[in-house]
Amino acid sequence: MSISGQAKIEFPVDWRFRIIVEAAQSDAAVPQIQAVLAAAGKLPHLVPGRSSAGGRYVIWEIETRLMDRRELEELPARLCAVPGVKTVL
């Protein structure tokens, strides 16, 4: 770990994101998620993951190459702004 408390990451890095979406809004959110990724110059395939036990949430996964820490910080923030997206891990 670095002095600032952040893990040392060597860029570029292949990174896997898990996007947790409200199931009721998933159909509308997926095209918007793809648009955010395309605007960032990322064209990964969205892979459906598992649903929550109660079926309220759906997890979508992507793997993409990040070129710097700015991308690592900004891309999840932009994805979280999509209606229906609860969090990005």
Check which CATH number belongs to the domain holding 33 and give it.
Answer: 3.30.70.260
> CA 89 to CA 74: how far, in whole Å?
13
- Does 1 map to a domain? no
Domain that holds residue 55: 13-88
Reported pTM: 0.88
> CA 78 to CA 76: how far, in whole Å?
5
Rounded mean pLDDT, 21-39: 97
pLDDT at 14 > cutoff 60:
yes
Rounded mean pLDDT, 18-44: 96
State residue 7's pLDDT score.
74
State residue 5's pLDDT score.
63
Query: Strand runs (DSSP E) across the chain, as ranges?
Result: 13-22, 47-51, 57-66, 85-88
State residue 4's pLDDT score.
58
- Does 84 map to a domain? yes
- Does 4 map to a domain? no
- Does 44 map to a domain? yes
Quick: pLDDT tens for 33-51.
Answer: 999 999 999 999 999 999 9
**DSSP bridge pairs for 64:** 15
Q: Which two tokens stand for residue 8?
A: 């040392």
47 HSE (CA, 13 A, CB side):
9
Domains in the chain: how many in total? 1
